[in-house]
Amino acid sequence: MTLSTMLASMGEGMLRTCAIFFLTLIFSMPLGMIVMFLRRSRFRIVREITKIYIAIMRGTPLMLQLLAWYFGPYYLFGMSIRGYRFPAIIIGFAMNYAAYFAEIYRGGIEAIPQGQYEAAEVLGYNSVQTFFKIILPQVIKTILPSVTNEVITLVKDTSLAFTLAYNEMFSLAKQIAASQTSFMPFVIAGIFYFIANYVVAFVMERIEKHYDYYK
């Protein structure tokens, strides 16, 4: 098998890897915002339930969570859903990453000095204006480095989809490596992850620069 045929057969896997990556980000980042608000709810019961959710998401392996999301409906309710494999992967990833993002957002929000809220209140801003005009822009600036970390981890975590026998790039690399007794597919996979993360770091650095105009 030549290099180009290897690349060709891994290409589709790369697209699947990208699909997991982008869909997870699209769902988990806003979901994390909701989880953060629940975690900061004024109702104790809501806060406590959210804390348990976050503890489970962070305290158990993502691999195990993927299995639970996929096989859970069958073992718990006897349901077998056709075409559920890919949705289960996205649900698993999004729910897991939402917990991490929620904690990052929370850290960012709690780092904003109380004086910013008080100044906004005395100046007459309502709570929506205060959040979107005063608080959120400052939160985004402070959390960017942590978000970068999380996104880079996600690039590499996409390979966990192999748990549910989903043929993303790394699963294909393993199959080809086994059938061809070649290490080359792993080298290609490594380069792919490296380049992907290089792009992530580059983009995030540009965004950070954009917020560089103040301290």
Partner 1 sequence: MILQMNGIKKSFGSNEVLKDISLQVDSGEVVSIIGPSGSGKSTLLRCATFLETIDSGEIIYMDKQAVTTGTNGQAVYVGKNELAQVKRYFGLVFQQFNLFPHYSVLKNIMDAPIHVQKRLKEEVHQEAMELLRKMDLEARADAYPCQLSGGQQQRVAIARALALKPEILFFDEPTSALDPELTGEVLKVIRQLAEEKMTMVVVTHEMPFARAVSNRVIFMDKGFIVEQGDPEEVFGNPQQERTKQFLKNYQR
Q: How far is the CB of 142 from partner 1 (least distance, A)?
A: 11
Q: Is 113 in the site for partner 1 (CB under 8 A)?
A: yes
Q: Which amino acid is at 142?
A: T
Q: Is 42 in the site for partner 1 (CB under 8 A)?
A: no
Q: How far is the CB of 207 from partner 1 (least distance, A)?
A: 14
Helix (H, G, I), strand (E, B) or coil at 83: coil
Q: Which stretch binds partner 1 (CB under 8 A): 11-19, 95-103, 130-138, 143-151?
A: 130-138
Please tell me what DSSP assigns to residue 19.
Answer: H
Q: How far is the CB of 17 from partner 1 (least distance, A)?
A: 36
Choose which of 77, 124, 128, 209 interacts with partner 1 (CB under 8 A): 124
- Which residues, 6 or more positions from 206, have their beta carbon under 8 angstroms from its beta carbon? none
Q: In whole angstroms, give the CA distance from residue 31 to residue 53.
A: 13
Number of residues that bind partner 1 (CB under 8 A): 19
Are 93 and 30 a contacting pair, CB within 8 Å?
Answer: no
Binding mask 196-215 for partner 1 (x = CB under 8 A): -----------------xxx
Q: How far is the CB of 136 from partner 1 (least distance, A)?
A: 10
Q: In whole angstroms, give the CA distance from residue 148 to residue 202.
A: 10
- Which residues, 6 or more positions from 177, have their beta carbon under 8 angstroms from its beta carbon? 183, 184, 185, 186
Site residues, partner 1 (CB under 8 A) = 113, 115-116, 118-119, 121-125, 129, 133-134, 137-138, 141, 213-215
